[in-house]
A and B are shown apart, each in its own frame.
Chain A
Amino acid sequence: GEDVEQSLFLSVREGDSSVINCTYTDSSSTYLYWYKQEPGAGLQLLTYIFSNMDMKQDQRLTVLLNKKDKHLSLRIADTQTGDSAIYFCAESIQGGATNKLIFGTGTLLAVQP
């Protein structure tokens, strides 16, 4: 089946690291994504990782992928108040000539000053 799960809420203090976790079910996913959605705004592609990679680092963001456990995480170093948003993980599943994204429920990250 197609199912992506995330914890609903995470609260951290400014300057701390945040870790948002995600589990997925489809082992044939080619890409795994993290999107950020600020209140009333659209979906911003934050980062992604190919399924044949274990880790990807991009400035303050680190993505870890454990394919055996179908577990994806996003670490944000030195979290700032501007990082407060909903974070969605998504797996990409082939659907004919295109692919479709199966999204998690989203994790609301609240950064306390």
Chain B
Amino acid sequence: DTAVSQTPKYLVTQMGNDKSIKCEQNLGHDTMYWYKQDSKKFLKIMFSYNNKELIINETVPNRFSPKSPDKAHLNLHINSLELGDSAVYFCASSHPAGLQYFGPGTRLTVT
């Protein structure tokens, strides 16, 4: 019974390509998030959505576009991938202002 799931787990692609990462939660939460963990393990929030509405956008380049088709899904589309986008991307979900539960992460490698 996976609470927060992400696909794919690994993604290797070339610079300039466009790719998407999908996230789904079955916890009944209204709020979903994307976090980025860089090569030094530093974690930083990118976006949050509440009830399909964008709430937080932490100065992320507009090549990154989150999309929430419904409350249980939050996808991340990245255009024109750059070397610096290589990282682990974590999805999370919570009740509004509640405990956040994380997915297993997607390791993106841009060559």
Contact = CB atoms under 8 A, between A and B. Distances in A.
B41 A86 contact: yes
B97 A98 contact: yes
Nearest to B97: A99
Interface stretch (B14-22, B43-51, B77-85): B43-51
Interface in A1-56: 30-31, 33, 35, 37, 41-45, 48
Given A42-B105, A97-B50, A98-B55, A105 B41 contact: yes
Nearest to A103: B43
A11 B102 CA distance: 27
A94 interface: yes
Interface string A63-89: 000000000000000000000001010
A98 B90 contact: no
A92 B103 contact: no
A96 B55 contact: yes
Contacts of A102: 45
B27 interface: no
Nearest to A100: B45
Contact of B50 (A31, A45, A98): A98
A67 B100 CA distance: 22
A43 B102 contact: yes
Given A98-B48, A98-B94, A106-B43, 11 more contacts: A43-B90, A96-B55, A97-B50, A97-B55, A98-B31, A99-B94, A99-B97, A101-B35, A101-B43, A101-B100, A106-B42
Interface of A: 30-31, 33, 35, 37, 41-45, 48, 86, 88, 90, 92, 94-103, 105-106
